[in-house]
Amino acid sequence: MRATDSNYSWLRDPGTGGPQQVQHLVALADGGADSVGNITPMTRADHIKHHQDNGDFARWAQRGGKKCNDSDTDWPTPETLDDRD
């Protein structure tokens, strides 16, 4: 099943019913590109588990609210990994 609108088609997350989230293959903080070639779809549950297994939430908390790659993007938390429609 795919979530669609006039601009995109994306796999549905069976756990939320919304579009799946995206995971950067090479993290932005590790120099990965913010591009289609560097993302993969993932369910919300798998996305959160991936970050938990990697210790990302603790690592991000140590940064004390600093921005991602000196951009205007805040570091994510489990609460902000909700589906974005």
Give the per-residue pLDDT at 27.
84
Give the per-residue pLDDT at 16.
92
Give the per-residue pLDDT at 54.
85
Tally of CB atoms within 10 A around 33:
12
Q: Which pTM does this prediction carry?
A: 0.60
Residue 84: which pLDDT band, with cuts at 50, 70 and 90?
A: very low
Give the per-residue pLDDT at 73.
52
More confident residue, 40 or 8: 40
3-state secondary structure of 45: helix
Give the per-residue pLDDT at 62.
78
The residues, ordered by sequence, that sit 6+ positions from 75 with a Cβ below 8 Å of its Cβ are 60, 63, 65, 66, 67, 68
> Which H or E element spans position 63?
none
Cα angle value 68/74/78 (rounded, 5°)? 110
Please list the residues that pair with 59 across neighbouring strands: none
